[in-house]
Homo-oligomer: A and B are copies of this chain.
């Protein structure tokens, strides 16, 4: 049986566009004039922050637009459907789409708070308050609008592992189930997941049961030879000579890198309860990468610091969760991944989303999947991972 009426779709990857007053409503008075502010320039709405201007990229708010009108240009708020930035309108959009619950990643701060990370070098107090303001906005205002429909997530002051641990604990006490963390801290100028630097973060997550959500791109790294090679040079921004469609196609390679970093890092052995959600990465690549990781572990552990007892593929199935939106090959090979570790994502209002037909498309993708497995993939795996039980 495919997707049925009793299945509530729980999405582990959606997005919101911050409304203009998110930071102005919350920052301490002395910081407000330096906080993120929406200004108009050439008829466009832009965020002004930290001496720079940040557009709201059009591709981040395409829900409801025909593909022929998509583009990379900045938009105005009134060019988006209100569900992008208004939680009450979003609930109605989710009802139309047949989606019960959504976990929304930030837009202006970057998926993992990279904008505040970079600004912290100049003004760490402001950066920390901006992180806290986003968490308070999302948990109190956005999720507070419909607590059974929105799953609380937080961001962290990633430039400081101890501050990050403290903010993760503060947000968890307010209800956060997961933290959006950089898919790698290296492009942000920080040590990799192989470093003990991050142990305070992992400890805070383990103690509070906070899942670590790694959304591709959350470390500010755009994959592809024409993108990554130029982006890695600090201060230099070369116009890539490849269409952005290349990066959109291969963004999952970020999460291949992230998961292999973690599988070979020892982090999962030191923190046996730690859980990672690989957000928006698809699942069809997972069996290949796990088979390859096992192959390398079997051959190279005698002379490299990866000589732990655990097979990488076993570690993956104990610590990681994948999700997909439209991945026939992955669904067909779900048993090679682990049916208990696969969730759905909806990606509203981004360009991968099928809104307002997400439920219809999910039913098509899951048409040949047995009922008990559909239940897990569409709903219960996400509820289990995020400790977000059904209320109705």
**Chain copies in the assembled complex:** 2
Q: Are B282 and A223 in contact (CB under 8 A)?
A: no
Q: Are B287 and A194 in contact (CB under 8 A)?
A: no
- Complex Cα gap A192–B247 (Å): 14
Across-interface contacts of A192 in B (CB, < 8 A): 225-226, 240-242
Return the chain B residue nearest A330 by Cβ. B288
- Kindly supply a per-residue 1/0 record for chain A positions 220-236, scoring 1 wherever the CB is within 8 Å of any chain B CB and 0 otherwise: 01011110111011100
- Kindly supply a per-residue 1/0 record for chain A positions 263-294, scoring 1 wherever the CB is within 8 Å of any chain B CB and 0 otherwise: 01100000000000000001011011101110
Q: With both chains docked as a complex, state the minimum distance between the C-beta of A389 and any C-beta of chain B, in angstroms.
A: 32
- Cβ of A96 within 8 Å of any chain B Cβ, yes or no, is no
If A249-B296, A253-B257 touch, does A288 touch B329 (CB 8 Å cutoff)? yes
Return the chain B residue nearest A325 by Cβ. B295
Return the chain B residue nearest A67 by Cβ. B302
- Kindly supply a per-residue 1/0 record for chain A positions 248-270, scoring 1 wherever the CB is within 8 Å of any chain B CB and 0 otherwise: 11101100111011001100000
Q: Are A221 and B229 in contact (CB under 8 A)?
A: yes
If A224-B261, A229-B187, A291-B329 touch, does A305 touch B243 (CB 8 Å cutoff)? yes
Q: Are A289 and B70 in contact (CB under 8 A)?
A: no
- Cβ of A71 within 8 Å of any chain B Cβ, yes or no, is yes
Number of interface residues of A (CB under 8 A): 72
Which of B246, B306, B329 is A287 in contact with, Cβ under 8 Å?
B329
Which of B225, B244, B291, B292 is A184 in contact with, Cβ under 8 Å?
B225
Q: Are B291 and A250 in contact (CB under 8 A)?
A: no
- Cβ of A123 within 8 Å of any chain B Cβ, yes or no, is no
Which of B194, B287, B297, B303 is A242 in contact with, Cβ under 8 Å?
B194
Return the chain B residue nearest A73 by Cβ. B303
Q: Are A243 and B306 in contact (CB under 8 A)?
A: yes
Q: With both chains docked as a complex, state the minimum distance between the C-beta of A48 and any C-beta of chain B, in angstroms.
A: 27
Q: With both chains docked as a complex, state the minimum distance between the C-beta of A254 and any C-beta of chain B, in angstroms.
A: 8
Contacts of A289-319 to chain B: CB distance below 8 A:
289, 291-293, 295-297, 299-306
- Complex Cα gap A228–B233 (Å): 11
Q: With both chains docked as a complex, state the minimum distance between the C-beta of A75 and any C-beta of chain B, in angstroms.
A: 13
Chosen A-B contacts, 16 in total, with CB atoms closer than 8 Å, are A68-B302, A184-B225, A192-B240, A192-B242, A194-B226, A229-B232, A243-B306, A244-B300, A249-B264, A250-B260, A253-B253, A282-B288, A284-B291, A287-B329, A299-B352, A329-B333
